[in-house]
């Protein structure tokens, strides 16, 4: 059987393709290793938070508080020694979540949870969040564009918040945080739920955590993981339906933030959900007083 002969041009092409093939395989191998490293760097602390939240869900608060304290120390040490800037940003965001939960643990010791206790739980986070947002240079919608779109954002936020709150009220049956719907009580509820609770949580989960995860794992990974933590950290309600539901709500807010980069929009929607859920619906029934 005769051996086929190749023109010199084809031999030359084959000789050139071998080094290129080796280079391509090397790049693919490095990409796979890099991807596995990114999964490891983000997966370990996020898995730790999920496991600790499951301790809270099962009522083992003492063990959870000890575990969160150890995680706080581990994240602080990792931020100090890690050279990768993106990893430090993610750990910084997770550190804020850890501080938030530890503050959340300590506050009920001193007083009963009520509307104004949210100020003491969330206000201490203003300093680390301000530092993180400044350090991480968060990109968001400029003020001029926000002001132009307020006429769309406000009614959209109220309607979306009402729809989400209706579904959540059916799931958890939240108790009201105000005794009646007087102007003073309603104003206090709106201010605290929008400008304290929703603002701090959206800065933590969307502006800081999701943004840093997007840079490291891509938009889909950032939105999913930030939403997963948003959902799992509602473990204190004691129902898996609430965690699953808030995961999907977090996904909606995360995608909206990714598309618009509008922090005011997601804050207003989040705040509207809380106003309806913890104020209006418990006093009027599931939408009966608003139709």
What is the pLDDT, as a whole number, of residue 139? 76
State the average pLDDT over residues 94-112: 80
What is the pLDDT, as a whole number, of residue 22? 55
- DSSP per-residue string spanning 219-277: HHHHHHHHHHHHHHTTGGG--HHHHHHHHHHHHHHHHHHHHH--HHHHHHHHHHHHHII
Which two structure tokens, joined as six digits, stand for 266? 């997601």
More confident residue, 92 or 286: 92
State the average pLDDT over residues 96-106: 90
What is the pLDDT, as a whole number, of residue 289? 44
Look at residues 126, 80, 224 and name the one whose alpha carbon lies nearest to residue 118: 126
What is the pLDDT, as a whole number, of residue 6? 45
pLDDT in tens, 12-64: 444 556 566 555 554 556 556 666 888 888 999 999 999 999 999 998 999 99
**177 pLDDT above the threshold of 70:** yes
What is the pLDDT, as a whole number, of residue 102? 92
**4 pLDDT above the threshold of 70:** no
pLDDT in tens, 206-224: 999 999 999 999 999 999 9
pLDDT in tens, 252-267: 999 999 999 999 999 9
What is the pLDDT, as a whole number, of residue 49? 97
State the average pLDDT over residues 274-282: 94
Look at residues 73, 82, 70, 95 and name the one whose alpha carbon lies nearest to residue 37: 82
| Contact indicator for 204, 95 with CB cutoff of 8 Å | no
**85 pLDDT above the threshold of 50:** yes
Distance of CA 37 to the CA centre of its chain: 22
Which two structure tokens, joined as six digits, stand for 71? 């995680």
What is the pLDDT, as a whole number, of residue 11? 42
What is the pLDDT, as a whole number, of residue 32? 65
What is d(CA 226, CA 240) in angstroms, rounded to the nearest whole number? 18
What is d(CA 118, CA 189) in angstroms, rounded to the nearest whole number? 11
What is d(CA 241, CA 235) in angstroms, rounded to the nearest whole number? 10
**158 pLDDT above the threshold of 80:** yes
Mean pLDDT of the chain: 86
**193 pLDDT above the threshold of 50:** yes
Percent of the chain with pLDDT over 90: 59
pLDDT in tens, 113-139: 688 888 988 998 998 898 888 877 777
State the average pLDDT over residues 230-240: 89
pTM of the model: 0.86
Contact partners, residue 268, CB within 8 Å, separation at least 6: 153, 154, 157, 161, 194, 198
What is the pLDDT, as a whole number, of residue 129? 92
**231 pLDDT above the threshold of 60:** yes
């Amino acid at each position: 059987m005769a051996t086929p002969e190749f023109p010199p041009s084809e031999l030359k092409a084959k000789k050139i393709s071998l080094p290129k093939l080796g280079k391509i395989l090397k790049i693919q191998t490095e990409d796979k290793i890099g991807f596995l490293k990114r999964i490891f760097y983000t997966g370990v602390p996020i898995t730790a938070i999920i496991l600790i939240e499951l301790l809270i869900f099962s009522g083992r608060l003492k063990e959870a508080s000890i575990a969160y304290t150890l995680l706080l120390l581990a994240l602080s040490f990792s931020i100090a020694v890690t050279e990768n800037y993106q990893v430090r940003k993610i750990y910084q965001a997770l550190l804020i979540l850890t501080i938030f939960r530890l503050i959340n643990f300590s506050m009920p010791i001193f007083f009963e949870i009520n509307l104004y206790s949210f100020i003491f739980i969330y206000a201490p986070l203003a300093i680390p969040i301000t530092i993180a947002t400044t350090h991480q240079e968060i990109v968001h919608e400029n003020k001029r564009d926000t002001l132009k779109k307020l006429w769309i954002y406000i009614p959209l936020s109220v309607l979306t918040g009402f729809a989400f709150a209706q579904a959540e009220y059916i799931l958890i049956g939240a108790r009201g945080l105000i005794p009646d719907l007087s102007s003073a009580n309603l104003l206090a509820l709106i201010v605290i739920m929008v400008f304290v609770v929703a603002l701090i949580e959206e800065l933590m989960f969307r502006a800081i955590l999701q943004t840093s995860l997007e840079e490291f794992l891509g938009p889909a990974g950032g939105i999913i993981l930030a939403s997963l933590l948003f959902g799992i950290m509602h473990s204190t309600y004691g129902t898996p339906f609430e965690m699953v539901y808030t995961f999907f709500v977090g996904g909606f807010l995360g995608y909206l933030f990714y598309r618009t980069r509008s922090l005011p929009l997601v804050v207003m929607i989040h705040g509207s959900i809380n106003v309806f859920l913890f104020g209006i619906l418990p006093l009027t029934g599931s939408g009966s007083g608003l139709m």
